[in-house]
Every structure is written in C-alpha cells, then in structure tokens.
Amino acid sequence: MAQLVLVRHGQSEANLAGVFTGWLDVPLTPQGEAEAREAGQRLHNFHFDAAYCSTLVRSRRTMELILSELHEDNIPVYAADALRERMYGALQGLNKAETIARYGLEQVTRWRRGYEDAPPEGETLHHTLDRVVAYYNEVLAPALRAGQSLLVVSHGNTLRALRMQLEGLTVAQVEALEIPTGGIRVYELTRELAIGSMTDL
C-alpha cells in the first residue's frame, strides 16, 4: 500500500502573534522549529520517496527540519503554490482579537471556519479545496498509485480541505476540524486510492 503523510507546519511568528497569516511569508518561531523536529522524530520509522510543501517559508522550513531528522535530505522535494495556505485577503496581517472586536465573533468565525464564506478579497475554503484537490489529482495521485510513500507539509486550511476530499467529510465536519501546528495524519492507501487506515501521530 502507498503511504500519504500530511503535516501542518510548526508554529509561525504570525501564529504566536495571533494575526491572520494567509499568504504572508513569515518564519517559524523557536517553538515552531522544535515542533518540526519533533514531527520528524515521530516519523522515524518512515521512508519517503518524495516530499511536497508550499512555497511559503514556514512550510518549506518545517519540511527541511523533518527530512533532516529522518536523514532523508536527498529525496526529491517539490514546492507548489497550490499547497499554499488559504488566501485571507484584507484580513492578512490583522490581529484576530482586534478583528473580532471590530466585526463581531460570529462574522469572524464565518470568515475563518466557513466553507463558503470568503474574507474580504480572500478565498473561501471551497476555493482552497478546488486548487488543492486539483494538485492532488494531477501530481500526488499518480505517485500514490505507483505505491510511493509521500510527505506533504502544508497549512491548516489547505490540509483541512485535502482531508475533506480524502475522508469524505461533510461541510459541518470540515468547519469544525482543527489541525494543530506540527500535527501529523498518516494514510495507508490502496492502488485505487481507497483509505486502508488513517492514524494521527
């Protein structure tokens, strides 16, 4: 069976500061670097044929640290815009608490968690799902059908969208889904890409 391992990047400076990040390119905090190394340690029994990440530095750095822990620095690595975080538009860089005070918790929750609710000038989670699933179908699925083991390091909303597709989650389930920084989800997949098992590490 093929393996697909999804990892959310470690804590970023924007996560720590409590601001909307989206496509802002912010580095990991020291805690985020530690979370990335710990993720690598939890994956010590895994061998990957290739690794994929977004083009944002918090994703790329997390992947680098994981592969360093695994001593797999020489496997093929691919960075793709399609794996970027959801675009938060006009909210990017704004403090979350101040945004709630201005617009109200209900509105901000819809922008943050809603499947069809777009922040001003930003993407819906549905839009994010469309680009992530297209990348999965075009790039990841052929490698998985060939029996490869793949590492994907990406972002909270990107991985929520991909998990919705892979696991057949409902809108309500994906809106409630939380993925912690450094969180790991492991899938064992058949050649037909059916899920044989899935585990959180």
Domains assigned to the chain:
2-200 (3.40.50.1240)
pLDDT for residue 172 is more than 90: yes
Residue tagged active-site, from 35, 64, 72, 85: 85
Q: Exposed, middle or buried by CB within 10 Å (0-12, 13-18, 19+), for 198?
A: middle
- Residue 51 and residue 63 in contact, taking contact as beta carbons nearer than 8 Å: yes
Q: How sure is the predictor about 68, in pLDDT bands with cuts at 50, 70 and 90? A: very high
**Tokens in use for 34?**
């530690």
9 belongs to the catalytic site: yes
Share of residues in the chain with pLDDT > 90 (%) = 98
SS3 content of the chain, % helix, strand, coil (to 5): 45, 20, 35
pTM: 0.95
Q: How sure is the predictor about 127, in pLDDT bands with cuts at 50, 70 and 90? A: very high
116 belongs to the catalytic site: no
- Among 161, 195, 198, residue whose Cα is nearest residue 179: 161
Q: How sure is the predictor about 73, in pLDDT bands with cuts at 50, 70 and 90? A: confident
Residue tagged active-site, from 9, 64, 123, 155: 9
- Residue 10 and residue 34 in contact, taking contact as beta carbons nearer than 8 Å: yes
Beta bridge partners of 145: none
Query: Each residue of 132-170: pLDDT tens digit?
Result: 999 999 999 999 999 999 999 999 999 999 999 999 999
Query: Each residue of 96-119: pLDDT tens digit?
Result: 999 999 999 999 999 999 999 999
